[in-house]
A = this chain, B = another copy of it.
Amino acid sequence: MEKSALRALPLIAVEVPGDYVVVGDQGRPDHCCLLLSGFMYRYKTPPDGGRQILSFHLPGDVSDLQNIHLGTMDHSIGTLVPSRLGFIPQDALLKLSNEHAGIAAAFWRDTLIDAAVFREWIVNVGRRSPPQRVAHLLSEVNLRAHALGLASDGRFALPLSRQVLGDSTAMSKVQVSRVLHDFKVQGLLAVDANTVTVEDAAGLQKVALFDPTYLHLKARI
């Protein structure tokens, strides 16, 4: 019953290019955006310049679910690659979550995991060394990509430029470049223009002292 209610939701599918701003800071969207295929990310742009990436989103994520209850966006959401998005009216989602406690709980849980990831990212940019930051970020993405079946033995298609990695880890692109070079020499991983290849996932996690508890993977819908 809850499943059929979810399937009955009105959904408008849209194709958008890469590097496209789906929802802008200060915006008040009336739809939520389900990522059907592609790759998205959240970010903030402080007034004095720069960009801080806050999270990455893989297919299946509804990255702006919080807008059901928080009217105004406090950050932006964009695509990294050409993507297919499904827009669902917020009032339909709100109605659904009011009528089905199970769906409300699932939505809530989803945003709780987002929050857990944000917490880990605070630690990442605040406490860890540059190699640890990159290793941690890529361990996270690797794990999530595998959990979704989007990767085969450490290889997955993701165009992560040095700039994007730097904006995610609060490092300069030059420093990212050097760290990635070292990782390649050590046989840990290789990041080329559109593919990430994790050669030694365990070694990478060891560098980052990575503990996947915060992803609450079992708790996903």
A interface residues (Cβ-Cβ under 8 A, vs B): 26, 42, 44, 46-48, 50, 52, 54, 66, 69-72, 74-75, 97-99, 101, 104-105, 107-109, 111-116, 118-123, 125-128, 169-170, 209, 211, 213-214, 216, 219
The reply to whether B118 and A122 form a contact with Cβ atoms under 8 Å apart is yes
Give the complex CA separation of A119 and B71 in angstroms. Answer: 16
Residues of B near A47 (CB, < 8 A) are 209, 211
The reply to whether B122 and A125 form a contact with Cβ atoms under 8 Å apart is yes
Give the complex CA separation of A219 and B104 in angstroms. Answer: 18
A42 to B: closest C-beta gap in Å: 8
The reply to whether B116 and A66 form a contact with Cβ atoms under 8 Å apart is yes
Q: Tell me how many chains of this kind the complex includes.
A: 2
- Counting from the closest, the 9 A-B pairs by CB-CB distance are A126-B170, A118-B118, A115-B115, A125-B126, A74-B214, A98-B101, A69-B109, A108-B108, A66-B112
Residues of B near A66 (CB, < 8 A) are 112, 115-116
The reply to whether A122 and B72 form a contact with Cβ atoms under 8 Å apart is no
The reply to whether A74 and B118 form a contact with Cβ atoms under 8 Å apart is no
The reply to whether A97 and B101 form a contact with Cβ atoms under 8 Å apart is yes
Known contacts A70-B116, A71-B219, A115-B118; 7 further A-B pairs (Cβ under 8 A): A50-B127, A52-B122, A54-B122, A97-B105, A98-B105, A99-B101, A122-B125
Give the complex CA separation of A204 and B153 in angstroms. Answer: 50
With contact pairs A70-B216, A112-B66, A112-B70 given, residues A44 and B123 touching in the complex (Cβ less than 8 Å)? yes
